[in-house]
Amino acid sequence: MSFIDIEKIDLVYRNSFGAEVSDGTLALSDASLQMERGDFIALVGPSGCGKSTLLKVVAGLIRANKGKVFVAGEEVTQPLKIVGMAFQNATLLPWRSTRDNILLPLEIVEPHRQRFRANKAEYIEIADHLLETVGLAGFGDRAPWQLSGGMQQRAQLCRALVHNPDLLLLDEPFGALDAFTREELWDVLQKLYAEQKCTVILVTHDLREAVYLADTVYVMSARPGKIILERNVEMPRPRKLDDMYGREVVELVQDLRHHINIARSE
């Protein structure tokens, strides 16, 4: 069995009263995907195709109506403890310092929660190492509002990785940033991936971002979403921005865009 096995899942969103939405529209239909431990994949596709929904199913935050999801050999029936997540908005708590925001998962996730106080000095060392890795050495005592948007996203990545998760789920983590800052953070994430060696699923609308960061890019259909195309990225690591202007990479981005346009029109 692969590290992640998504087996023909269907999902219908329910309203606040627990009933299925009135039109019965599926968010996901017959969606399947397999990943090995340590893989880095990207999910792309038309807006509203279910990319973020698929992440939530893998994390155990929502349950599929049909089909099964397995992570590390266990069926996912509740929120996973081995997951780190980062989103488009950093959502750092304004009353906590940047370092204390990063430490938050260790205060919540077992087994760290039970030994947080006794091992706090060790955990602070881990947080400060992550801050240094992402270029924020010396900013641990700053409040989130004292950081730029790009710096907050760096801190969010640290928070997602501080408990050394086996699986990192990224939902448009750089989507709200300007192009220059986004490209800087591509390299930050690439460095973190090389150091942490975790399994990564990235949801993005930026095809260049998908190709630059992932080893495999999957295209999803329009809603109801499922995987309709797989493309491997034959680009050695560590990658550089100059690599993005090579003919093969440009052709791959164009190929992905072509298939997304087809999926959007169907």
DSSP state of 20: B
Residue 32: inside a domain, yes or no?
no
Strands 167-171 and 199-203, sheet pairing: parallel
Mean pLDDT of 256-266: 93
Amino acid 2 reads: S
Q: For 42-91, what is each residue's pLDDT tens digit?
A: 999 999 999 999 999 999 999 999 999 999 999 999 999 999 999 999 99
Report residue 150 CA to chain centroid gap.
Answer: 17
For the chain, the C-alpha Rg in angstroms (whole number) is 19
pLDDT score of 14 more than 70: no
Helix 149-161, helix 120-133: angle, nearest 10: 130
Mean pLDDT of 87-115: 93
The sheet carrying 40-44 orders its strands as 83-87, 167-171, 199-203, 40-44, 216-220, 227-232
More confidently predicted of 119 and 102? 102
Residue 203: inside a domain, yes or no?
yes
Q: For 194-208, what is each residue's pLDDT tens digit?
A: 999 999 999 999 999
Q: Which tokens belong to 121?
A: 């000095």
Segments in the chain forming alpha helices (H): 51-59, 98-108, 120-133, 149-161, 179-196, 207-213, 247-265
Residue 66: inside a domain, yes or no?
no
Residue 11: inside a domain, yes or no?
no
Mean pLDDT of 158-186: 95
Peptide bond preceding 111: is omega within 30 degrees of 0, i.e. cis? yes
Peptide bond preceding 105: is omega within 30 degrees of 0, i.e. cis? no
Q: For 120-165, what is each residue's pLDDT tens digit?
A: 999 999 999 999 999 999 999 999 999 999 999 999 999 999 999 9
Report residue 194 CA to chain centroid gap.
Answer: 15
Question: Cα–Cα distance between 206 and 189 in angstroms, integer?
Answer: 15
The total of structural domains in the chain comes to 1
| Cα–Cα distances in angstroms (integers) from residue 140 to residues 47, 113, 190, 207, in the given order | 36, 21, 22, 33
What range defines the domain where residue 161 resides? 37-61+77-265
Cβ–Cβ < 8 Å for 223, 50? yes
Long-range contacts, 103-110 (Cβ 8 Å, 24+): 103/127, 103/162, 104/159, 105/159, 105/160, 105/162, 105/163, 106/162, 106/163, 109/81, 109/163, 110/81
Give 5: exposed, middle or buried? Use CB within 10 Å, 0-12, 13-18, 19+. Answer: middle
- Whole-number pLDDT of residue 265: 85
Question: Cα–Cα distance between 255 and 142 in angstroms, integer?
Answer: 44
Residue 9: inside a domain, yes or no?
no
Mean pLDDT of 244-261: 96
For the CA atoms of 42, 45, 50, 51, the dihedral, rounded to the nearest 10 degrees, stands at: 20
Residue 68: inside a domain, yes or no?
no
Residue 145: inside a domain, yes or no?
yes
Question: Cα–Cα distance between 139 and 143 in angstroms, integer?
Answer: 9
The CATH code of the domain that includes 211 is 3.40.50.300
Residue 123: inside a domain, yes or no?
yes
